[in-house]
Amino acid sequence: MGGFASDTFLAALLFGAVTAAIPLLLAGLGEQMSEKAGVLNIGIEGMMITGAYLGFVSAYYSGSFWLGFLTGAAGGVAVAALMALLCVRIGLNQIVIGIALTLGLEGLTALLHHFQFSRSYPRLPAAEVTPIPLLADIPVLGSALFRHHLIVYLAVAMVVVMIWVYRRTQFGINLQAAGDKPAALDVAGIDVIRTRTAAVLFTGGMAGLGGAYLANVGAGLFIPFITNGAGFLGIVLAMLARGQPVWVLVGALVFGGCLSMTTAAQVAGVNIPTDVIQMLPFLAVMAMLVLFGRRASLPAALGIPYERGAR
């Protein structure tokens, strides 16, 4: 039975919130590592759109969502390698290169789509879900939160992995030093360029995976500009999170939840202008910024290319 506040409707809303949050979570976690290492990765939107395009093409022709995710992540890594070469190795301006990559890749993927799919607009079947035993049977919440594609659970698990990496591994400590005091890291005998390059490549992989998820699971298709600014939201979430992965997860869920709230308000016939309702997710992010972002401390060397011996 349908209707506002019905189980089906509430489950669809919550399911949609999670689906909207996952690309932001993946992109935000990736961007967070890049920023920790001192690289402001503005090109993440370009990495996402590349991942979305390649992920869709791969899944469409192979019939495998997993191959799509893998290809999408690889595409993101490829773009990130270019970013690392230009910004980390050569030391060009990170913002300029990031914007150029984003604009260029949006145009390129739109062009490729035009030649390949603009007459057919192929779409993928619904993604297979992996229900979590027992939890998936809970009314409303079960079908909304515990009946997703396996990649969703892996994305959430990545939060724990990232916490472990940052707190318990030498690589995590190196990342922090590469962003705060790269010269000190260099003196300690750790290669700053290599550390930053690894961080940027990881960002590309996560952003590409996020793009592939957005296209293959979120939309089930690829169209030009499909990421619609999700990469930039990932940057915002990474900055708000103050280096803590769990806050990226919270921010992504708040944003996804607010998107679903806007739909709920409209379906409920809330008689206020649509524009006001549509502001809700962005107001929530700004509120988070005011409440939690004041004490945010970005790495001291963020955005500054490292050059040994330079003052």
Partner 1 sequence: MTVLIKRSMLAALAATFMAGSAIAAEVKSIAILTPQEGTDFGWNQQGIDAAKAAAKAAGIEVTVASGLGYGDVRPTLREIAADGASLIIAHASGYATSAPEIAEETQVPVAIVDSPKALKAGLVADYTLSGHEGAYLAGRVAAKMSRSKHVGIVVSGEPPSWNSQSAGFAQGVKAENPDVKITYAVIGPAAYSDAAGGRRVTESVIGAGADIIFGQGNGSSFGMLQAVETSKAADGGKVLFIDVIGDKTSVGKGHLLSSVVWDITPVYSAMIKDLKDGTFGTKRYAISLADNSVKLLKTDQIPDNVWGEAQKIREQMISGEIKLQPVFEATAVRALMTNVSAAAAK
Interface residues toward partner 1, by CB under 8 A: 1-4, 6, 8-13, 15-16, 19-20, 23, 110, 114, 118-121, 123, 125-126, 214-215, 218-221, 223-226, 228, 259-260, 262-264, 266-267, 269, 271, 273-275, 277-278
Cβ of residue 123: shortest distance to partner 1, in angstroms?
5
Nearer to partner 1, 9 or 306 (CB): 9
Nearer to partner 1, 188 or 270 (CB): 270
Angle between helices 170-180 and 192-213 (to 10 degrees): 100
Distance between CA 249 and CA 159 in Å, rounded? 7
Cβ of residue 65: shortest distance to partner 1, in angstroms?
14
Cβ of residue 282: shortest distance to partner 1, in angstroms?
9
Nearer to partner 1, 120 or 170 (CB): 120
Q: Which residue has the tokens 């988070």?
A: 288
Burial string for 283-307 (b: 16+ CB within 10 Å, else e) reads: ebbeebeeebbeeeebbebbbbbbe
Nearer to partner 1, 81 or 112 (CB): 112
Cβ of residue 186: shortest distance to partner 1, in angstroms?
42
Cβ of residue 221: shortest distance to partner 1, in angstroms?
6
Cβ of residue 3: shortest distance to partner 1, in angstroms?
5
Nearer to partner 1, 38 or 75 (CB): 75
Distance between CA 114 and CA 250 in Å, rounded? 37
Cβ of residue 263: shortest distance to partner 1, in angstroms?
5
Nearer to partner 1, 159 or 226 (CB): 226
3-state DSSP percent of the chain in helix, strand and coil, to 5: 70, 0, 25
Contact 209, 51 (CB under 8 A): yes
Question: Would you say the C-alpha torsion 255, 298, 242, 92 has a positive or negative sign?
Answer: positive
Write phi, then psi, for 148 (nearest 5 degrees).
-120, 170
Tokens of 232: 């930039």
Nearer to partner 1, 284 or 302 (CB): 284
Cβ of residue 180: shortest distance to partner 1, in angstroms?
36
Contact 21, 42 (CB under 8 A): no
If we measure between CA atoms, which residue out of 263, 237, 261 comes closest to residue 250?
237
Write phi, then psi, for 38 (nearest 5 degrees).
95, 10
Nearer to partner 1, 2 or 189 (CB): 2
- Taking the CA of residue 81 as centre, how many other CA atoms within 13 Å lie in the half-sphere pointing to its CB? 7
